[in-house]
């Protein structure tokens, strides 16, 4: 499935490999407005609170979330650290475009587009589209355990939305 089902409700993230291009689609509905979702994705303090699996803590090293800005953050547990970096080619009202790379594999850069659609009932649908540089990179991303970080991270974001932090 490469297009969202307008009658579906994505209370958990639907993660799918695109069959035609080396890309991953993620759909997820949230109890919050598009503005709240944009803030959660663009405010470094909020972002660090929800991104990734429960077992990791995130430290923001650099964050300039504006059109043509850039970022770097480090997720860690104990002595293990995983650093990620990229740029923000476009930051709009309901759309965020960023490059994304894990520093452990700097040649594998994904171009990610996230859109936030107002569903009209106090809910927002996020669609993330990650275009990878090859099918091998895409398949590596999918087999890395990223779905744990996606599901646990969005559960933390749900909690932040519910308690009014966003």
Q: pLDDT tens for the chain, 166 residues: list them.
A: 445 566 788 999 999 999 999 999 999 999 999 999 999 999 999 999 999 999 999 999 999 999 999 999 999 999 999 999 999 999 999 999 999 999 999 999 999 999 999 999 999 999 999 999 999 999 999 998 899 999 999 999 999 999 999 9
Please name the helix (run of DSSP H) or strand (run of DSSP E) that holds residue 112, with its range, or none: strand 110-118
pLDDT given at position 5: 67
pLDDT digits (tens, 9 = 90+) for 113-158: 999 999 999 999 999 999 999 999 999 999 988 999 999 999 999 9
Topology annotation, domain 19-162: Alpha-D-Glucose-1,6-Bisphosphate; Chain A, domain 4 (3.30.530)
- C-alpha closest to that of 26 among 119, 151, 157, 123: 151
Query: What pTM does this model have?
Result: 0.93
Tokens describing residue 71:
């970022």
Distances (CA, A) of 123 to 6, 108, 131: 13, 33, 26
* Max Cα-Cα span within the chain: 45
pLDDT at 6: 65
Question: Which conformational region is residue 66 in: left (phi greater than 0), alpha (psi within -120 to 50 degrees), or beta?
Answer: beta
What are the tokens at 119?
């569903």
Tell how strand 124-131 and strand 110-118 pair up.
Answer: antiparallel
The span from the CA of 56 to the CA of 2, in Å, is: 30
Task: Please count the residues of the chain.
Answer: 166
24 near 16, Cβ under 8 Å? yes
Q: Cβ distance 60 to 76 under 8 Å?
A: no
d(CA 163, CA 10): 21
Domain boundaries along the sequence of the chain: 19-162
């Amino acid at each position: 499935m490469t297009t969202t089902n307008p009658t579906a409700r994505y209370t958990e993230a639907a993660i799918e490999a695109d069959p035609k291009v080396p890309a991953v689609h993620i759909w997820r509905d949230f109890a919050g407005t598009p503005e709240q979702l944009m803030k959660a994705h663009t405010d470094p303090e909020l972002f660090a609170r929800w991104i990734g699996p429960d077992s990791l803590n995130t430290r923001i090293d650099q964050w300039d979330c504006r059109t043509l800005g850039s970022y770097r953050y480090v997720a860690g547990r104990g002595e293990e650290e995983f650093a990620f970096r990229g740029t923000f080619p476009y930051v709009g009202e309901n759309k965020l475009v960023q490059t994304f790379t894990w520093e452990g594999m700097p040649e594998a850069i994904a171009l990610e587009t996230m859109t936030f659609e107002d569903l009209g009932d106090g809910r927002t649908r996020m669609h993330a589209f990650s275009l990878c540089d090859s099918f091998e990179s895409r398949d590596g991303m999918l087999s890395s355990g990223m779905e744990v970080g996606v599901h646990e991270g969005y559960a933390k974001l749900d909690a932040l939305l519910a308690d009014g932090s966003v």
